[in-house]
Amino acid sequence: MVSPDALRTIVGILGNIISFILFLSPMPTFIQIWKRKSVEQYSAVPYLATLINCLVWTLYGLPFIHPGSILVVTINGSGLVIECTYLIIFLIFSDKKKRIKVVLVVLAELVFISILTLLTLTLTHSHKKRSTIVGTICILFNIMMYAAPLAVMKLVITTKSVEFMPFFLSFASLLNGITWTTYALIKFDPFITIPNGLGTFFGVAQLILYATYYKSTQRILAERKTKQVNLSEVVVADEEELKKPCGRGQNGHSTLNNH
């Protein structure tokens, strides 16, 4: 029979895999941004929220805060690298106003994690107290990571289109919440259970919204494509009309009437 610790390790490894997929799920979005050379209506909020989430969870999993949490460190350390890559791409293809906002938020997050680390190590001297302080903050930022797509969900409801709410991000969030909730319940850890339980709820809500507006999205995209085709035909027709030579009489003068 598999021991609870061994089972927890297995689930944790599975959680690492799913979380890694979660971190990679926005990749199609950034490939699209790269091709179009514009961030369009995409928001940096989910990636900024995920960045601070990875920072605090990496701190939580370190041996001097919460020993025996190496699987928490490995996945969130990987997440840091991936999110930084996304934000660099976002900065390259966003306008000056958005770029300044993103840079300021990132700097604020770095200052925050530095202060938190310093205060935790200097003011507390036991793993339990350190875990409680950092774990409580982790709960808040983990909820932010899952709730961040709510801003995009508002856009979906307003436009009746899921074009700017990536399906894979929502689906991976749901799987991630389920897996880490299971991990935390095997050897109860409230700091992991609470945010991931809520993450599961947010994931379900996003998929319901996606299913609700999927058909209307396809209709909107089809109408947009039709308009683009019609516009192209008009432009081509106008170009051909301009290329036609003016009619001329036998004396070489234009036969067009003057009005």
Mean pLDDT score, 192-198: 87
Residue 248 included in any domain: no
C-alpha dihedral (134, 137, 142, 147), degrees to nearest 10:
180
Contact of 81 with 139, CB cutoff 8 Å: no
Q: Would you say residue 166 lies in a domain?
A: yes
| 195-210 average pLDDT score | 86
- pLDDT, tens digit, for every residue of 27-68? 888 888 898 888 887 888 888 988 998 999 999 999 989 888
The answer as to whether 181 is a domain residue is yes
pLDDT tens digits along 204-229: 888 898 888 888 888 887 887 787 76
What residues pair up with 248 in beta bridges, in sequence order?
Answer: 254
The domain total for the chain is 1
Residue 226 lies in a domain: no
- The pLDDT tens digits of the residues spanning 109-138 come to 999 999 999 999 998 889 889 999 999 999
Q: Check the CA dihedral 55-56-60-65 and report its sign.
A: positive
- Selection from 123, 99, 106, 104 nearest residue 54 by Cα: 106
Q: Does 87 fall in a domain? A: yes
| Domain annotation covers residue 119 | yes
Q: Check residues 169 and 255 and name the one with the higher pLDDT.
A: 169
Range of the domain at 89: 4-218
